[in-house]
Amino acid sequence: MENIRYELLPEIAKLGHVALETTDLEKSLWFFEEVVGLEKTTTKDGVHYLRAWGDFEHHTLSIQEGPVARVHHIAWKAKRREDVRNFAVLLRKADVEVQEVKAGTEAGQGDAIRFQLPSGHNFEIYFDMEKPPAADPKRKSVLKNQTYKAWRKGISPRRIDHVNIGTNTDPAVLLDFLQEKLGFKMREYLKTPDDKVGAAWLSVTNLVHDIAVMAQPELPTSHEIHHLSYWSDNAQDILRAADILAENGITFTGPGKHGISQAMYLYVIDPGSGVRLELFSNGYLIFEPDWEPVEWKAEEMAVGFTFWGEQAGLSEQDRKTIPAGEPLKSAKKV
């Protein structure tokens, strides 16, 4: 029998965290801790590290004050420790500038790498991350498979879910990079009248999307973020979230149901940074290894974006984004 030789390509396991910079730290912490109900793991060097009650890793959101509101980076957990190094090798061979991040630079995190997408979005890949228990017994769940008590305060989503990034350039190069260099799989996409991909939903997990990419010429830069998303268990949780936001005098879009992803949604903007948060539930999972991406046409997007409920994307607030990167540092684009 002929010997079979193969090498494992580096892989991403899941979305890890979003590093947010805000111009009003007090408002952002009030929003994410008290209204949304995220739990604070620790504060180090002016950075506040938060996670949802069902998140196991040290943090899924970090917040610090900065001169401008932006997402400093979006982080992804590798499947294996050696994948961090192997991704660095793969990216450098593709002429992508890779920055090594030493363990401890972010609280709770081991060695990592940072780099830019062809659009200028800043990504990070890590493997090692502490999974600390709840330090305060009053916050700790009695369940051994759950970090914190659910519903302790605020909206109380279970876990981080996905990010949605935007670009004002042709997204083809960006989408190729995500698939060919980072291993994302196309799940659903929008085909524009000129036969280009105008939006795409991709994942490395069984979720419909761990990341979405929107191409919008009117965006201020090529490296924007439309929203980050946290997951709740069911549709009633989203309705409860709407009540809590209304009680706090915060306006929002939704609730509604997407056609793409089939998920319940509600959009709300952090009053400190201006970043949009999507509260997300239901939807479907993909287990088929031979999944064929679902194509949507422009004339179908009234259903694709909003199957029912308040139509998102109509108001100026719905279209607002903040930067999630910077002009490319690499010598040339991929």
Of 204, 210, 16, nearest in space to 109 by CA: 16
With beta carbons less than 8 A apart as the criterion, state whether 58 and 51 touch.
yes
Rounded to whole angstroms, the Cα distance separating 136 from 116 reads 38
Rounded to whole angstroms, the Cα distance separating 142 from 137 reads 10
159-323 has CATH 2.60.40.10 classification: no
Q: How many residues does the chain have?
A: 334
Q: pTM above the 0.85 mark? A: yes
Tens digit of each residue's pLDDT (9 = 90 or more) over 18-40: 999 999 999 999 999 999 999 99
Please report, rounded to a whole number, the percentage of residues in the chain having pLDDT higher than 70: 95
Mean pLDDT, rounded, for 56-82: 98
Same fold, 12-126 and 159-323: yes
Task: Please state which of the ranges 92-96, 98-102, 325-329 shows the lowest mean pLDDT.
Answer: 325-329
Q: What are the residue boundaries of the structural domains of the chain, listed by start?
A: 12-126, 159-323
Pairwise pLDDT comparison (195 vs 2), residue with the higher score = 195
Question: Is the pLDDT reported for residue 333 higher than 60?
Answer: no
Tens digit of each residue's pLDDT (9 = 90 or more) over 140-169: 999 999 999 999 999 999 999 999 999 999
Question: Is the pLDDT reported for residue 314 higher than 90?
Answer: no
We find that the CATH architecture of domain 12-126 is Roll (3.10)
Task: Please state which of the ranges 136-145, 204-213, 319-328 shows the lowest mean pLDDT.
Answer: 319-328
Q: What is the CA angle 288-294-295, rounded to 5?
A: 165
